[in-house]
């Protein structure tokens, strides 16, 4: 059963990274600070310790 949960963890991490990448492109396309703040809030909800500047 250990391998199954490990696979789930890996898949969850990959989905999280893909979602953060998608949200970072939204930040790059955002026009105002309000939009950027919304997207940053979503990123923080997904991954609280993620460094958004990098």
- pLDDT at 4 (0 to 100): 72
CB 47 within 8 A of CB 20: yes
Q: What percent of the chain has pLDDT over 70?
A: 93
Tokens 């955002």 identify what position?
Answer: 30
Q: What confidence tens digit (pLDDT) does each residue in 8-54 have?
A: 999 999 999 999 999 999 999 999 999 999 999 999 999 999 988 75
HSE (CB half, 13 Å, CA atoms) of 46? 22
CA-CA distance, 11 to 7, in Å (whole number)? 6
Helix, strand, or coil here: 8? helix
pLDDT of 2: 61
Residue boundaries of the structural domains of the chain:
2-46
Write down the pTM of the prediction. 0.79
């Amino acid at each position: 059963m250990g391998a199954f949960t490990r696979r789930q963890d890996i898949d969850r991490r990959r989905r999280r990274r893909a979602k953060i990448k998608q949200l970072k492109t939204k930040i790059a396309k955002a026009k105002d600070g309000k939009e950027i703040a919304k997207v940053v809030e979503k990123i923080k909800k997904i991954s609280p310790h993620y460094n958004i500047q990098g």
